[in-house]
Amino acid sequence: MKYANIEGVQLPVSRMISGTAQYENWMREEPLFEVLDAAVELGVNAIDSGREYADGACEKAIGSWLRARGNRDQVVLISKGGHHNAIRKRVTPYDVTADIMDSLALLGTDYIDIYMLHRDDETMPVGPIVEMLHRHWEAGRIRTYGASNWSLQRIQQANEYAKAHGLRPFLVASQHFSLGEQMDDPHGGGCISMTGDAMQAAREWFATQHMPLLAYSSLCMGLFSGRFNRENYKLLFEEGALPEPCVRAYCCEQNFARLDRAAALAVQKGVSTAAVALAYVIHCSDYYGFGIFALVGSANAAEVKANVDAVNLELTQAEVHWLNNG
**What's the pLDDT score for residue 24?**
54
What pLDDT does 85 receive? 87
pLDDT at 53: 87
Mean pLDDT of the chain: 93
State the maximum Cα–Cα separation within the chain, in Å, rounded to a whole number: 56
Whether the per-residue pLDDT at 107 is higher than 90: the answer is yes
Taking the C-alpha atoms of residue 216 and residue 174, their distance in angstroms, rounded to an integer, is 7
Confidence of residue 27 (pLDDT cuts 50, 70, 90): low
Q: Give me the domains of the chain, ranges plus CATH numbers.
A: 3-325 (3.20.20.100)
Please report, rounded to a whole number, the percentage of residues in the chain having pLDDT higher than 70. Answer: 98
Instruction: Compute the distance between CA of residue 120 and CA of residue 103 in angstroms, rounded to an integer.
Output: 19
205 contact partners, CB below 8 Å, separation of at least 6: 152, 156, 211
3-class DSSP assignment, residue 72: helix
Residues 253-274: what's their mean pLDDT?
A: 95
DSSP annotation of 196 reads: S
* CA distances for 146 relative to 29, 42, 316, angstroms: 29, 27, 31
CA distance 87 to 158: 26
CA–CA distance, 289 with 285 (Å, rounded to integer)? 5
Q: pLDDT of 132-186, one tens digit each?
A: 999 999 999 999 999 999 999 999 999 999 999 999 999 999 999 999 999 999 8
Q: What is the rounded average pLDDT of the residues 269-274?
A: 92
pLDDT digits (tens, 9 = 90+) for 4-25: 999 999 999 999 999 988 755 5
Query: pTM of the predicted model, to two decimals?
Result: 0.94
Which amino acid appears at position 178 of this protein?
S
Question: Is the pLDDT confidence value at 30 over 90?
Answer: no
Tally Cβ neighbours within 10 Å of residue 29: 17
DSSP for 83-149, please give it.
Answer: ---SS----SHHHHHHHHHHHHHHHT-S-EEEEEESS--TTS-HHHHHHHHHHHHHTTSEEEEEEES
